[in-house]
Structure 1
């Protein structure tokens, strides 16, 4: 199937009992067994649920993978990947990444003896030089949150394979519509399904997709044993969201391009971070590994004034000031005090995330209305 057809039909079959075209919501905690150990493939809802099973099949198909696993949040999915490791193992991670991931790494897993090494992953040589005999995992975001840095997945996948370690790519910003890391050599793809996969700001969920059967069994054991699983209603909502992913992403990309270029030409706007600009340092790599540049971007005002940035954040009428991204509605965000507040200020500044940086999640409204809203807010 071509991508649009696959997205609509992935994981879904008419219900055999009723013919319902949409996957039913199996709101049950357990399943009646014919005899001890003899069942219809479902024993207990933490381990299996038919609605979740359909979603996991859909996740695998749209990421061109063999196996999908759904979790109660994106952080829970990330947590499961790190639980593959042992005390003394090392992880190479991007110095610019989502604050919640950084918090999980530094405040939770460092206490258990796992070491995290942060490098600029836009240069694969930095990753290669950081690898030691203890490196078991490379963790990438591309594009990164919120500075839109791009890493070469294929080049880093080659480095990971040579070193004998896993590569996991957080594909939340791109979505499966724009990028498929497994096709580029990644071992695991992670999503905060809350974002573009759900697409309507009404569900919290995470996902992992992989090809390797043994890796799937290890991650499924963690999913089942640790219990961070989504409920059937949430699985239904993400299944529904996936069906319009291609339509929404097309509009996110169109609006994103218009707004990024408008911001760049605004006399009061300084730097605009969007990977679709031809002079973006990662443009060549992004063009090669992505099918579009998306609707995520960040910008700074020309005078880098935090008070003025705060005034902009509080003045929009259509852009809602809120955490999260990827919904049909446009959001505006202040990373330093919201999504990335858990990262120490000195480290944020060193990585280029200033106190005045503003992040946009451009929605699917009319682009002219969004531009007018930014115009009145920036002044």
Structure 2
């Protein structure tokens, strides 16, 4: 455990100083926003910046910072789903067999159904909690999302990676909920990791962004080639916003995780809440696995209320909860996930805990619970 903490702290230092260490006198500590479609390119086009779709200095600064945190080469994208698509395109060939979590982010399943099945991609869906027991020998790609969104189930990344690799397959982990700071998926054996940096990594609810990281040079080169050829390129201003948010990731997560733990205990004992899902609670089904592979149990809590109306009242009447989809922002936010068709009860609320002062946050939520 001490070695894990030391590695995490080292990567945080490298991330914070990834750009600073390369600067010469008079250069800006923050990366400049380079709005460029054209670069000077006389002679042969053998240059890092031949054209705006190929690369950009602002992207490079962000990729170096995230890459230090992932301890891996990183390619950035204009959204989490753009990153997901790139990882899938890099990993799969026609007629490949893919294992997906049936309870993960639903848009990945829709993408597979509407676009990848037409290329004879065979998709099998299994619940995250059942992944550890599933036969993994038949798949070219095993896609994991742990903790799952929105149910917060977990699976053993290291064990699944070992079994998948033994059968010749690849493992990709959607690490959006945990971030590389709380869960080092590549250290645990994943071949690729993807993230919607729109969420906690950028953290200010003001930018769509995503990234893919891998330690396999051939895989990450295919990811980069997909970005260049598909045109799935982020804007430099968006890259700057993601970079700015990344610089405070650790301090935000510390507050968010501490607040979440306190709230989870409040919900656990309050009569208005029928059930709580949070990997930090000792009797939660995800506790054992999360404790083994995560530095902290995260900042997302699942709450079950008696019915849809009670859940909606909790969200809309609490002054400390912003009613919105997405998660990972500075403000605590919540939504009733059944409205999107997720396989959860009508009264299930996904609560993303923010950075508010703990006592004030606890009071506002407790007072609202008392009225339900």
The two structures have a TM-score, normalised by structure 2, of 0.92
What is the CA distance between 1:68 and its match in structure 2?
0.2
**Greater relative contact order, per chain length (Cα 8 Å cut-off, separation 6+):** 1
What is the rounded CA distance, in whole Å, between the counterparts of 2:315 and 2:321 in structure 1? 9
What is the rounded CA distance, in whole Å, between the counterparts of 2:85 and 2:191 in structure 1? 16
CA contact (8 A) 2:136 2:167 kept: no
What is the rounded CA distance, in whole Å, between the counterparts of 2:46 and 2:297 in structure 1? 49
Map 1:103-122 → 2, pairs under 5 A: 103-122=110-129
**Residues 235-274 of structure 1, C-alpha deviations (whole Å, 9 max, x = no match):** 1111111111110111111001000110111111111010
What is the rounded CA distance, in whole Å, between the counterparts of 1:367 and 1:9 in structure 2? 30
Map 1:49-198 → 2, pairs under 5 A: 49-65=56-72, 67-84=73-90, 85-127=92-134, 129=135, 131-132=137-138, 135-198=139-202
Q: Secondary structure of 2:327's partner? A: coil
Which of the pair is proportionally richer in helix?
2
Q: Secondary structure of 1:229's partner? A: coil
- Is 1:371 equivalent to 2:352 in the alignment? no
Would you identify which runs of 4 or more consecutive aligned residues in structure 1 move more than 6 Å?
none
Counterpart among 328, 331, 345 of residue 330 in structure 2: 328
Tell me what 2:320 maps to.
318
- Is 1:27 equivalent to 2:38 in the alignment? no
Q: Secondary structure of 1:181's partner? A: coil
Map 1:236-255 → 2, pairs under 5 A: 236-255=240-259
State which drifts further: 17-26 or 325-334.
17-26
Structure 1 residues 125 and 240, CA, compared in 2 at 3 Å: closer, same or farther?
closer
**Residues 85-105 of structure 1, C-alpha deviations (whole Å, 9 max, x = no match):** 233211111121112222222
Any unmatched runs of 5+ in structure 2?
1-8
What is the rounded CA distance, in whole Å, between the counterparts of 1:82 and 1:2 in structure 2? 30
- Is 1:260 equivalent to 2:264 in the alignment? yes
What is the rounded CA distance, in whole Å, between the counterparts of 2:21 and 2:32 in structure 1? 10
Structure 1 residues 6 and 162, CA, compared in 2 at 3 Å: closer, same or farther?
same
What is the rounded CA distance, in whole Å, between the counterparts of 1:221 and 1:177 in structure 2? 27
What is the CA distance between 1:229 and its match in structure 2?
1.2
Structure 1 residues 125 and 287, CA, compared in 2 at 3 Å: closer, same or farther?
closer
What is the rounded CA distance, in whole Å, between the counterparts of 1:374 and 1:73 in structure 2? 32
- Is 1:309 equivalent to 2:311 in the alignment? yes
What is the CA distance between 1:110 and its match in structure 2?
2.2
**Residues 190-243 of structure 1, C-alpha deviations (whole Å, 9 max, x = no match):** 010101110101110110000011111111111111111111111111111111
